[in-house]
Amino acid sequence: MSVLAVWCNRVSSTRLKDKCASGEPLTVAEHVMARIARAKSVRQIILALPDGPEQRPLAVWGASHGLPIIYGPEHDVVSRFGKAVDRYAQPGDLIFRVMADQPFLDWRAIDFSASVMTANGWDFALPLTFDRDPVYGAGLSPWSMRAWKWIESRSHGEEREHVGMILRRHLKEFEYGLVSLPHWAFRPYRLEMDTSQDILLMNSIWARWRAGGGEGEPSLQEVVALLDRNRDISMLNGMIHEKTGPYTSYTVAEIAAWEKDYINRQVVYPDLPSAIGFIEAKSATCRKCNGPLITVRLGS
């Protein structure tokens, strides 16, 4: 399996100018780059920028990291994305959209999704959730070339700027499966970089991670655990609200339709070691949220 990662980035932002260059000691872009590079399934990363001289700082930064760069319309992101796919995709590639504001993306989720997609012939994988989004950067999945061609040929309106949005509105047309995300992936933490408060949170996480002896990029699970232990940091951007997401960008009717489509779909459980025999299973209660759990004693 191999993944072509297309990183649609730009200098301008409605809420935070030059956000990809914000952050100390590393910028948002540096964190995104370091994390996507850790995904073993990613064959190549392409930087897709809008036309215009104002994008030169990003182009210089991308070139310094050896990234191929293509240019296209700023707001027709599907068109810009398509230029990268047409030029750099190879037979058998899966296509992954790198989000420029995800400095804590879970690179392991990309590899896992690519693996189960290849094994099952899926067009993509979705997080198994019914009423809320997982923490930003969890449950990531590439698309099959078939899914990408659907996006490219049928997206219109806001779907041209939010690449992949159309898939949720036509789930019945695709082969896909559901991934049951672990408990830690559902937290009320905001990890999307759109405001100065978000950048402050990112810098504070990084500083606390290094102060505790951490090296390199912490996994998303380690980031969540750090925020669990340091509520002063988690509240730094608590007043900011998400603008987009599966449960904020779609109508109630659309959400009901794609949740109904889940009924006959396969679910995979990445944290359940099927190779080890079970000895005992019993009900329990989560000590954090009082929700129901099943505890399993394994044969190893």
In this prediction the pTM is: 0.85
**Residue 199 in contact with residue 192, Cβ under 8 Å?**
no
Q: How many CB atoms lie within 10 A of CB 158?
A: 12
Tokens, residue 50: 């809008």
| Block residue for tokens 């399996």 | 1
d(CA 214, CA 92): 37
Q: 52's torsion region: left (phi>0), alpha (psi -120 to 50) or beta?
A: left
CATH (residue range 2-187+240-268)? 3.90.550.10
HSE, CB side, 13 Å, CA atoms: give it for residue 43: 15
The Cα 101–Cα 244 span in angstroms is 12
State residue 129's pLDDT score: 86
Report the distance separating Cα 238 and Cα 198, nearest Å.
Answer: 9
Angle at the Cα of 105 from the Cα atoms of 191 and 255, rounded to 5 degrees: 70
pLDDT at residue number 278: 42
- The domain segmentation of the chain, as residue ranges, is 2-187+240-268
Exposed e or buried b per residue across 46-57, where buried means at least 16 C-beta atoms within 10 angstroms of its C-beta: bbbbbeeeebee
Q: What is the pLDDT along the chain (300 residues), one digit of tens a residue?
A: 899 999 998 766 555 556 555 656 668 889 999 999 999 999 999 999 999 888 888 899 999 999 999 999 988 999 999 999 999 999 999 999 999 899 999 999 999 999 999 999 999 999 998 778 899 999 999 999 999 999 999 999 999 999 999 999 999 999 999 999 988 999 999 999 988 899 999 999 999 999 999 999 999 999 999 999 999 999 999 887 766 666 677 888 998 898 899 988 998 887 654 444 444 445 667 777 877 776 655 554
Structure tokens at 163: 């690449």
Q: Which two tokens stand for residue 13?
A: 């932002």
CB within 8 A of 51, min separation 6: which ones?
Answer: 71, 72, 73, 74
The whole-angstrom separation of Cα 186 and Cα 138 is 9
The backbone region for 151, taken as left when phi is positive above 0, alpha when psi lies in -120 to 50, beta otherwise, is alpha
Q: Which helix (H) or strand (E) holds 222?
A: helix 220-229
In this structure, the strands spanning 278-285 and 292-298 are antiparallel
Number of H helices, E strands in the chain: 9, 9
